Every structure is written in structure tokens, then in C-alpha cells.
Structure 1
Amino acid sequence: MLMSPVEFFRNLPEKVCPECGQQIEEQAESYFMECDHCLSKKGE
């Protein structure tokens, strides 16, 4: 049986920063894989 699209997206795992392991707050139109903290360190 096929899963509804709503259930599919509800069951996706949380996005986690590969640099520090912190959970990332999902934002529309954001394709960054790192959290804001790690991204700001890269800019230095």
C-alpha cells in the first residue's frame, strides 16, 4: 500500500548538521546542510 505524501514527510528524520551534530531547523528554500553556527564559522 502506498503511503500518503503527508505521512511520508512527517516520517522523514530530522535534519542534523554534519559538522557539530546539532538538529537544524528546517526552512523553506534553504539547501544548506550545516547549522547557522557552523556556517558562520566558515565565513571567518
Structure 2
Amino acid sequence: MLMSPLEFFRSLPKKVCPECGEGVEEQAESYLMECDRCLSKKEE
């Protein structure tokens, strides 16, 4: 039996920053992979 789309998206693992391993808070229409802290380090 197929699960509902809502159940599917709730069951996905949280996004994790590949640089430091910290959880990334996802935003709509955002394709960023790094957390804000690692992104700010790259801009320096």
C-alpha cells in the first residue's frame, strides 16, 4: 500500500551539513547544503 505524501515527507531524514555535521534547518526553495556557520566561513 502506498503511503500518503505527508507521511513520506515526514519520514525523510533531516538535512545535515557535510562540513560540520550539524543539522540544517530547511527552507522552502533553498538548495543550500551547508549550515549558515559554514557558509559564512567560506565568504571570509
Shorter-chain TM-score tier: over 0.9
More helix by share: 2
Separation in 2, partners of 1:26, 1:37: 14
Runs of at least 4 residues off by over 2 Å: none
Tell me the CA shift for residue 38 of structure 1: 0.2
The SS at the match of 2:26 is coil
Residue 32 of structure 1 corresponds to 32
Tell me the CA shift for residue 11 of structure 1: 0.2
Q: Which runs of 5+ in 2 are unaligned?
A: none
Scaled by the length of structure 1, the TM-score of the pair is 0.94
Tell me the CA shift for residue 29 of structure 1: 1.1
**Root mean square deviation of aligned Cα:** 0.5
Identity level (%): 80
Q: Which runs of 5+ in 1 are unaligned?
A: none
